Amino acid sequence: MAFEFTTENKRRFDEILTRYPVKRAAMLPALWLVQHQAGWISHEAMEYVGKLLDLSPAKVYEVATFYTMFNLKPVGKYHFQVCRTLPCQLVGAESVTEHLQKKLGVKLGETSADGRYTLTEVECLGSCGTGPMLQLNDDYHENLTSEKLDALIASLK
Ligand code: FES
């Protein structure tokens, strides 16, 4: 499906461009804007960004696939990203993932059939002193326990 920025996001994109000496330097914020608008970055969106930045879709693809923070397939309304890097692993990251799999009824790397939850594991999110931790959509949740996870899930509308 063709992708285009909304009028508001096109205005934001134009404003982003003014901050960089060359267009291609705006690739990461442009991809963020796509993800913010659509929830993920499709091939069509990569082509669109490439056109706006005078770059080939392959160049955009290279960058979008390098960073795990970009979703390359649709994600659920609530995207749980559990940090699995060593410091978090040592304080129970694995049990966080297990608990979420059970409570959300979704396997690691998958989205629930109703499109509500996606569960993934990611590398260090820079909050190593407060593990185990996860990112839920745009927010961090730290020092996780089973009770905290249950309360978090219960708070979701
Ligand atoms: S190791 Fe988990 S946030 Fe850094």
Q: How remote is the CA of residue 2 from the centroid of ligand 1, in Å?
A: 36
Can you tell me which atom of ligand 1 is nearest the CA of 85? 1
Full set of structural domains in the chain with CATH: 7-66 (1.10.10.1590), 78-154 (3.40.30.10)
Query: What string of H, E and C letters represents the secondary structure of the chain?
Result: CCCCCCHHHHHHHHHHHCCCCCHHHHHHHHHHHHHHHHCCCCHHHHHHHHHHHCCCHHHHHHHHHHCCCCCCCCCCCEEEEEECCHHHHHCCHHHHHHHHHHHHCCCCCCECCCCCEEEEEECCCCCHHHCCCEEECCEEECCCCHHHHHHHHHCCC
* 33-75 tens-digit pLDDT: 999 999 999 999 999 999 999 999 999 999 999 998 899 999 9
Answer whether residue 31 shows pLDDT above 70: yes
Q: Tell me: the pLDDT tens digits for 89-103?
A: 999 999 999 999 999
For residue 46 and ligand 1, the question of a CB distance below 6 A is answered with no
Q: What pTM was estimated for this model as a whole?
A: 0.85
- Mean residue pLDDT of the chain comes to 96
